[in-house]
Amino acid sequence: MNNKVKALIAIVVVAIAGVVVVQQQSGGDVTLTLATVNNGQMKDMESLKSEFEADNPGIKVNFQVMEEGDLRSAVTSDVANKAGQYDIVTIGAYEVPQWGANGWLTDLTSDLADDAYDVGDILPPVKDALSVDGMQYAVPFYGESSILMYNKEILDAKGVKLSNNPTWNEVAAAAKKVNSANTAGICLRGKPGWGDLFAPLTTVVQTFGGTWYDMNWDAKVNAPEFVQAVTFYKDLLASAGQKDPVSYSFNECLTALKTGKVAMWYDASVAASMLEADDSPVKGKMGYAHAPVAKTKEAGWLWSWNLAVPANTQNKEAAVKFIKWATSKEYHNLVGTKLGWSLVPPGARTSTYSIPEYKEAAAAYAPITLEVMSAVNPKQPGVNPQPWVGIQYVAIPEFQDVGNQVAQLVADAIAGRITVKEALDKGQVIAQAAGDAQK
Amino acid sequence: MKSTKATLITGATWIIAVTYFFPVAWMFINSFKTENDAASLTPKFIFTPTLEGFSRLADRGMVDYLTNSLMASVISTALVLLLAIPAAYALSVRPIVKVQDALFFFISTRFMPAAASILPLFIIFKNLRVLDNIFALSLVYAAMNLPIAIWMMRSFLSEVPHEVIEASRIDGANFETELWSVVLPIVLPGIAAVALICFIFSWNEYFFSVLLTSANAKTTPPFLASFVDGRGQFLAVLSAASTVAALPVILAGWFAQKQLVRGLAMGAVK
């Protein structure tokens, strides 16, 4: 046989042999695989994992960092099919109650009951959002609400003052007053997506008295309150918002505010720590206020990135040990002493806001973050009761698709391609189909 | 008049070339910026260069992902060539019956979108315990590229003059000699083109890698995406990662340029 043919056959044999090799874990040691999202707090956790490994010989933690959309796809297919590739998963507050109810996650209630962990220290609204029927399925690594951020220098120059609990009418008037050719009055997300445009917009809808669904899962997307809120949002963007709003989400608005292209921004509270970072041009120039309201007392959203243990993991004991360490008071102290106090994960534990060093490092935004996160109500964020727990999303599997489709329609309305009424009439049909599936 | 026309054509060619090349050049430039400079609303052409982005790649272990990509691409390309050449041979030089039906069958395997096959694949991989296995991923890539490789190879093999094959047979060449010493040397540029295209497709494949791998076999494209941060700036480090990831393919294309041009031109004229 020709040598070339033999070489090719050898390659195939090696490839096929590789396929059937089943990787065996070396006896005794446990390697935990953690699927997580790429952001500063998670990177800090990865940099500190050696401390956990040193205290727990025999346990190694392997971080798999993914883009947010990839994380959702990979973790959902893995956990739903009980494939067991991941021992610990990072999931949002949107997924936890659904996956917990499906039996996909380990019930952590008894594991968290020890005094040292102090589960009662977790911010109550966050804990509520991670529990189903009294059983807790995940622990928050960090959390956030939404607040109004504004450049005091720009507002002061125009003689504009904002209260600590502003109304949307007050904010709209201020935005119009400071709006100029070089500086937009306010930056609001317009990029289509349930997690982009509809995160802030849903809170506006709720404080205007609207909701996605009533208690019977009948959609209310083209109800007068929903239409009024979306019209207000669109008009505010048109009269005092950034140019080309449908291409703006969190990062674009962050850059615009940092570079003085906009005067105000309503978005995630975690942005405040970036605006106050040492390399930020607006450090020390910013003011912060509660999410603007209309008919409700609070209108901030609630989000947390959480650590959960899939129900079928082979390493449950070690996985639970790690997530308790990563969300403990001791971990917060470790981050503060090793990496800097301003980097302590916010919005998870009440006690974090009592640490003197943290209060000093995060003086500009820590008090308002705690105030808003303690005040929001994920069980009834709007005027009327709702059949799910959650603020800026509807905790049903169909919502990602519904939210994305309706967001695209609303973005079309913001861009002037269709009217708000047309967009929401179409959105009503889409939302109702998902609502019917819940009945 | 002729000179004006030539100048216009040259000018238009330059504009098109620069338009195509600019995003790549901008990626390269951004890879040497700080995150603040890269995210600046006003594009910055003058800045203090930094290697911070590249340093972060090393910290995140990019070499492992590049190694996985290289293994998956090389193994799958070798498998594809091993199967596509004989298949194409049987569809052109020594045609089987119902060639058109066979060709249609091969291309029909690409009709279904990858998303439709991912769940069955995932379950099969899970049951065979080959999730997160680079060899299993290579098999998927080989299956993914095989139909297009067969079609391309058939087109190249059809270009081989039948008289040359006849002459070799008259001279007493057996099948093995005919294949190795007569046909393959003639279509070598075509094989190079097929190999490079399969390599590029495998190197850039994203969807299957995200879902079928986790800790050990993850390839470079999902690693690149992992720098995208919904709550912070990432353009500089993403540009650095993309620059490094693009290098192997650019180098492979550059080295094989001569063969490629000849190969891609084959089959164009009957």
> What ipTM goes with this model?
0.82
Hey, what are A333's tokens?
Answer: 């102290």
pLDDT band at A20 (very low <50, low <70, confident <90, very high): very low
- pLDDT by 10s per residue, chain B, length 270: 568 899 999 999 999 999 999 999 999 999 999 988 898 878 888 899 999 999 989 888 899 999 999 999 999 999 999 999 999 999 988 888 888 999 999 989 888 888 899 999 999 999 999 999 999 999 999 999 999 999 999 999 988 888 888 898 898 888 888 888 899 899 988 999 999 999 999 999 999 999 999 989 999 999 999 998 877 789 999 999 999 999 988 888 888 777 777 776 665 544
Q: Residue A11: which of B78, B133, B218 has the nearest Cβ?
A: B78
- Is B225 in contact with A65 (Cβ distance < 8 A)? no
CA distance A317 to A312: 12
Which of A38, A255, A259 shows the shortest C-beta gap to B229?
A: A38
Among candidates A8, A20, A38 on the partner chain, residue whose Cβ is nearest the Cβ of B82: A8
Reported as a single tens digit per residue, the pLDDT across A367-404 is: 999 999 999 999 999 999 999 999 999 999 999 999 99
Give the domain CATH number at A38: 3.40.190.10
The answer to the question of residue A412 being in a domain is yes
Has this prediction a pTM greater than 0.95? Answer: no
- Residues A226-267: pLDDT tens digits? 999 999 999 999 999 999 999 999 989 999 999 999 999 999
Q: A279-304 pLDDT, tens per residue?
A: 889 999 999 999 999 999 999 999 99
Tell whether A171 and A56 lie within a shared domain.
no
**How far is the C-alpha of B87 from the C-alpha of B79, rounded, in Å?**
12
* Opening angle at CA A190, ends A187 and A195, nearest 5: 110
Nearest chain A residue to B225 by CA: give it: A67
In Å, how far are A33, A315, B113, B239 from B132, measured between CA atoms? 12, 18, 22, 27
Q: Beta strand A88-92 with A30-37: parallel, antiparallel or unpaired?
A: parallel
In a domain, A342, yes or no: yes
Inform me whether the C-beta atom of residue A38 falls under 8 Å from chain B C-beta atoms.
yes
Min distance A91 CA to chain B CA atoms (Å): 14
Among A177, A368, A161, which Cα is nearest to A273's? A368
Sheet holding A184-187, edge to edge: A184-187, A262-268, A146-151, A286-290
- Shared domain for A311 and A330, answered yes or no, is yes
Task: Please tell me whether residues A133 and A160 are part of one structural domain.
Answer: no
Residue A366 in domain: no
Strands A262-268 and A146-151: antiparallel
**The total number of residues written for chain B in this structure:** 270
A134 CA: distance to closest CA in chain B (Å): 31
Tokens of B245: 């990831």
A256 touches chain B (CB under 8 A): yes
| Burial class of residue B161 in the structure, from the number of CB atoms within 10 Å of its CB (0-12 exposed, 13-18 middle, 19+ buried) | exposed
Do A67 and B130 make contact, defined as CB atoms within 8 angstroms? no
User: Residue A13: is its pLDDT beyond 80?
Assistant: no
Could you tell me if B114 and B207 are in contact, meaning their C-beta atoms sit under 8 angstroms apart? yes
Any domain includes A23: no
Q: How far apart are the first and last CA of chain A?
A: 69
Provide the residue range defining the domain that includes A85. 30-137+303-361
Which residue of A15, A39, A64 is in closest CB contact with B229?
Answer: A39
What element of type H or E holds B155?
Answer: helix B134-157
CATH code 2.40.37.10 for B60-265: no
Q: Is the Cβ pair B226, A65 closer than 8 Å?
A: yes
Same domain, A164 and A265: yes
Per-residue confidence (pLDDT) for residue A7, from 0 to 100: 54
Q: Which residues contact A376 (CB under 8 A, 6 or more apart)?
A: A125, A145, A298, A300, A301, A302, A391
Contact check, Cβ <8 Å, A85/B231: no
B253 near B196, Cβ under 8 Å?
yes
How would residue A142 be classed by pLDDT, with cut points 50, 70 and 90?
Answer: very high
Within 8 A of B234 by CB-CB distance, chain A residues are 38
Q: Are residues A391 and A297 in the same domain?
A: yes
> How big is the CA angle at A281 (ends A352 and A178), to the nearest 5 degrees?
100
Q: Is the dihedral of CA A47, B233, A67, A344 positive or negative?
A: positive
Query: In this structure, are A150 and A269 located in the same domain?
Result: yes
CB of A301 closer than 8 Å to CB of A136 = no
Other beta carbons less than 10 A from residue B42's beta carbon:
7
Q: Same domain for A169 and A271?
A: yes
Domain boundaries, chain B: 60-265
Between CA B222 and CA B204 the distance in angstroms is 10
Q: A152 and A119, same structural domain?
A: no
Which of these three, A315, A338, A361, is where a domain ends? A361
Cβ of A78 and B214 within 8 Å? yes
